[in-house]
A and B are shown apart, each in its own frame.
Chain A
Amino acid sequence: MYDVLHTERNVTQNDVKINAQGVQVYYGDTHAIKDVSVEIEDKTVTAFIGPSGCGKSTFLRCLNRMNDTIDICRVTGDIRIDGEDIYDKRVDPVQLRAKVGMVFQKPNPFPKSIYDNIAYGPRIHGMASSKAELDEIVERSLRRGAIWDEVKDRLQAPGTGLSGGQQQRLCIARAIATEPEVLLMDEPCSALDPIATAQVEELIDELRSNYSVVIVTHSMQQAARVSQKTAFFHLGNLVEYGDTGKIFTNPEDSRTESYITGRIG
């Protein structure tokens, strides 16, 4: 199965979008991320896999400084997006998060209309100067989020009234409405059924042409299906990072092999 995938995959070398070097994360006294260095490429889907509690979500949240909202969390090391240190004193995390969008594990639409869910980001960033322009952004985002056909007739209906899979695609559309350069996805399909998962995965593959997508997933099949690069985390360490095909067929580290073959995790 992996051989088939491997032959289909055409791995191209892209520019480095995010460069993390020697990242350490502490929650109080707990050392959650231990000296992780990784280079994430542009226009590529990068998957973080690993057993629960291995630090993959924590590392993902470092990339748009969502960990700042947790008081006891401390991050050291160097994370650069397009060569700029995002933990620099001068960097405003709000500006950073407009550039690095995020989709969460549980669909979390605002308890507002579908339209307002999408329009909120563009509104607060002043991206539209008129109602017509905003309408256009909303339609474009919903189309790119592959949900336009399902909701175009009820844009004023509450976003919370949609089904789980629709809600998650709405959240993805909301995240891309602000035109981010990187899209972080924290287990976006864990609350979805297989059909909705397939839709979201298809969407992720399409998004690759415009964005650098980083996805955390528990499902190795999903990582194999959607990603070009895979990073395997274990107990806070980045064990192995490389082309997805290689990780799944010919891992270098014995722990990676144990995990993908189901012996640990």
Chain B
Amino acid sequence: MTDMKNASDAPRKRISLTETDAHTRKRNASEARFKAYGLGAILIGLFFLVVLATSIIRSGVPAFTRTVLEVEFTLTQEQFDAAEKQLFKTKAYQAVFIDAMTQKLTEDGVTASFDNAAIERLLGKIGNDLRGHYTANTGDLGKSVNFILPASSRVDGYFNGRVTRDTLVDSRFLQLSDLDLVDALHDAGLLKQGFNWTFITGADSGVDNPGGAGIGASVVGSFFMMLVVLVLSLPIGVAASIYLEEFAPQNRWTDLIEVNISNLAAVPSIVFGILGLAVFIQFMHLPQSAPLVGGLVLTLMTLPTIIISTRASLKSVPPSIRDAALGVGASKMQAVFHHVLPLAMPGILTGTIIGLAQALGETAPLLLIGMVGFVARGYPDGFMDGFVEPNSAMPAQIYTWAARADVSFYDKAWGGIIILLMFLLTMNIIAIILRRRFERRW
């Protein structure tokens, strides 16, 4: 008491409010520095985001375009009959086509020389396509038909800038002289670039045919996997969280479970993969490479994420709401399901969709259970078959393409990443919309 009195008795130095003292200046400077660091961190992050986005788009866009030869061609009944009598029928069709092409090019004033082999290098074995068309549509004989024939991936590469005259080494795939022909055809308006629907709708094509490769089949594989993950992990995860958060007694066992769930969230995904291989395939004898197994493995991986986020959002509901419900005589379950759960819904949905997005991008465990890219050779026959027929998933397909020797697959890998990112973006947008719709204020 007496000390305080003495202190107030001492004459105090008067400091004007208009001039800042050294201590305040130091505080203000450190605050300004901190703001600058934060802004710098955000700018660096944005810079890398822009670099990433542009490089993905630049490398990935070629996967969506393809070069096609669009040409009018007429096959007469006589030519058809003659060709069908030959031993090598497709060769005969090819010969007729090349004759017609030569004639057309001379009319157009294109001078570049070409032969059977050059055409094969540019367009693949077109005789097969032609014969296929005319045997199926005999009515088209004698009429002018507009053919759209895909060019080889090397020609694609030439238009995309991957293959240049300087870097091209003559091979059985493409020769320098062929590029003259390509240029001539392009100038004549016969060879043009179009949208590559095959990439969207196709399946994996095999190592020597990058042009025919598509991501469609593995999108379907991913879809069935996500269906399994959603149907299993959402109810199990939400039920487990509600039980642990609202009903379970707080004791050593629940503490142990809680610690284990947190740890599971940090387990590397490849561990789940090997677990899936051992348990689901080797022990339970579920089919290999099946989206069902992939879905089960990813469910195990997603569950901790969903449980943790659901518990967090249940915890964030104010206890006064539970009291209010119990106070009017609601049972514990009614209080949870009528009041707590609806309020926790936005958080639960967000957590679930983030978990699903994680699962959608997961590669390693899928490789271990055999869902590698080259398995995705076609679409499943029916809805139920979608779960058990061998298939791949988008990230595994991308991984397989990226690992292939033919550089044309490089484009496909980047294109696949664009598709994958589009799906992830869609899921995140859905998460935001759902959160907005369920959000309530109290």
Chain A nearest CB from B415 CB (Å) reads: 46
Taken together as a complex, chains A and B put the C-alpha atoms of A171 and B329 apart, in Å, by 14
Taken together as a complex, chains A and B put the C-alpha atoms of A21 and B440 apart, in Å, by 45
The answer to whether B442 touches A111, judged by C-beta atoms less than 8 angstroms apart, is yes
Is residue A12 within 8 Å, beta carbon to beta carbon, of the partner chain? Answer: no
Chain A nearest CB from B339 CB (Å) reads: 6
Chain A nearest CB from B244 CB (Å) reads: 14
The answer to whether A110 touches B329, judged by C-beta atoms less than 8 angstroms apart, is no
With contact pairs A110-B339, A160-B442 given, residues A69 and B322 touching in the complex (Cβ less than 8 Å): yes
Is residue B338 within 8 Å, beta carbon to beta carbon, of the partner chain? Answer: yes
Taken together as a complex, chains A and B put the C-alpha atoms of A103 and B326 apart, in Å, by 11
- The proximity string for B residues 331-372 relative to A, scoring 1 for CB distances below 8 Å and 0 otherwise, is 100100011000100000000000000000000000000000
The answer to whether B320 touches A120, judged by C-beta atoms less than 8 angstroms apart, is no
Task: Give chain B residues whose Cβ lies under 8 Å from the Cβ of A245.
Answer: none
Task: Tally chain B residues at the interface, Cβ within 8 Å.
Answer: 22
Is residue A144 within 8 Å, beta carbon to beta carbon, of the partner chain? Answer: no
Interface residues of A in 131-154 (CB under 8 A from B): none
The answer to whether B320 touches A108, judged by C-beta atoms less than 8 angstroms apart, is yes
The answer to whether B329 touches A109, judged by C-beta atoms less than 8 angstroms apart, is no
Task: Give chain B residues whose Cβ lies under 8 Å from the Cβ of A125.
Answer: 329
Interface residues of A in 72-116 (CB under 8 A from B): 94-95, 97-98, 101-104, 106, 108-111
With contact pairs A69-B322, A110-B321, A111-B440 given, residues A104 and B327 touching in the complex (Cβ less than 8 Å): yes
The answer to whether B328 touches A178, judged by C-beta atoms less than 8 angstroms apart, is yes
Is residue A8 within 8 Å, beta carbon to beta carbon, of the partner chain? Answer: no
With contact pairs A104-B320, A110-B339 given, residues A97 and B327 touching in the complex (Cβ less than 8 Å): yes
For B249, B441, B442, the residue with the greatest tally of chain A CB atoms inside 10 Å of its CB is: B442
Task: Give chain B residues whose Cβ lies under 8 Å from the Cβ of A124.
Answer: 328-330, 334, 338
The answer to whether A94 touches B329, judged by C-beta atoms less than 8 angstroms apart, is yes
Task: Give chain A residues whose Cβ lies under 8 Å from the Cβ of B187.
Answer: none
Is residue B129 within 8 Å, beta carbon to beta carbon, of the partner chain? Answer: no
Is residue A175 within 8 Å, beta carbon to beta carbon, of the partner chain? Answer: yes
Is residue B323 within 8 Å, beta carbon to beta carbon, of the partner chain? Answer: yes
For B249, B324, B326, B328, the residue with the greatest tally of chain A CB atoms inside 10 Å of its CB is: B328
Is residue B250 within 8 Å, beta carbon to beta carbon, of the partner chain? Answer: yes
Task: Give chain B residues whose Cβ lies under 8 Å from the Cβ of A101.
Answer: 327-329
A-B contact pairs, 9 of them (CB 8 A): A66-B326, A69-B326, A94-B330, A98-B328, A106-B320, A111-B442, A120-B330, A178-B328, A178-B329
A-B pairs, 9 with minimum CB distance: A98-B329, A121-B328, A108-B320, A102-B327, A111-B442, A97-B329, A108-B324, A94-B331, A111-B440
Given A94-B331, A97-B326, A177-B328; 16 other pairs, CB 8 A cutoff: A64-B327, A66-B327, A69-B326, A97-B328, A101-B328, A102-B323, A104-B320, A104-B323, A104-B324, A108-B323, A109-B324, A110-B324, A111-B343, A124-B330, A124-B338, A160-B441
Residues of chain B at the chain A interface (Cβ within 8 Å):
249-250, 318, 320-331, 334, 338-339, 343, 440-442
